[in-house]
Chains A and B, each alone.
Chain A
Amino acid sequence: GAGVSQSPSNKVTEKGKDVELRCDPISGHTALYWYRQSLGQGLEFLIYFQGNSAPDKSGLPSDRFSAERTGGSVSTLTIQRTQQEDSAVYLCASSSQRIRETQYFGPGTRLLVL
């Protein structure tokens, strides 16, 4: 595809429900990142996938958060038992093996937990 795509663009859920957010990276990009952007805050790193290596999960805020990357492409971020403080924009980015520093971001998923 032309860029990183994310779905859904907006998600409203009730406290306690599980949500799944999807990211389609740029074709051929081996690295994939998830970040969270809370209102008025910078981007907070969540998790990083690089090829077939074990993911770097050091940024996940709690065990309610998990992510998978199937077939080295599409990734799903799952938030279980959502809380109101999980409300934020969840951004996905990807980068190529050749130019690893340059991360290309998707438009994000705006999550609102009521």
Chain B
Amino acid sequence: QQQVKQSPQSLIVQKGGISIINCAYENTAFDYFPWYQQFPGKGPALLIAIRPDVSEKKEGRFTISFNKSAKQFSLHIMDSQPGDSATYFCAARQGTGANNLFFGTGTRLTVIP
């Protein structure tokens, strides 16, 4: 059973456009929501993360929007660049006692020049 559902599976965006990736969860015990970026042949790298006590977090061109009541969160990439082309994973951690992450199935983003 997929604990974190991610969409879309793939996304093609024009350079300079906005890329939006969405995730949803059911487990209200989740307390930490990171996004990871993965390039081919590499391990995932932490991009940005949010806790459920805030509704938005912005770091440069990357923004997480968090809707606690809807149990949804999304990643927005502003002014998308070809170098952003990668696979993006959302994830969630269940409570402070556990530290393993539940990952979404990933979104392959392609930014075309």
Residue ranges of A at the interface with B (Cβ–Cβ < 8 Å): 4, 31, 33, 35, 40-45, 48, 50, 56, 59, 91, 93, 95, 100-108
Contact = CB atoms under 8 A, between A and B. Distances in A.
A33 B101 CA distance: 10
B99 interface: yes
Given A48-B99, A48-B100, A41 B105 contact: yes
Interface residues of B, number: 25
B17 interface: no
Contacts of A35: 103
Contacts of B2: 42
Interface majority SS on B: helix, strand, loop or mixed? strand
A40 B87 CA distance: 10
Interface of B: 2, 4, 6, 32, 34, 36, 41-46, 49, 89, 91, 93, 98-106
B99 A108 contact: no
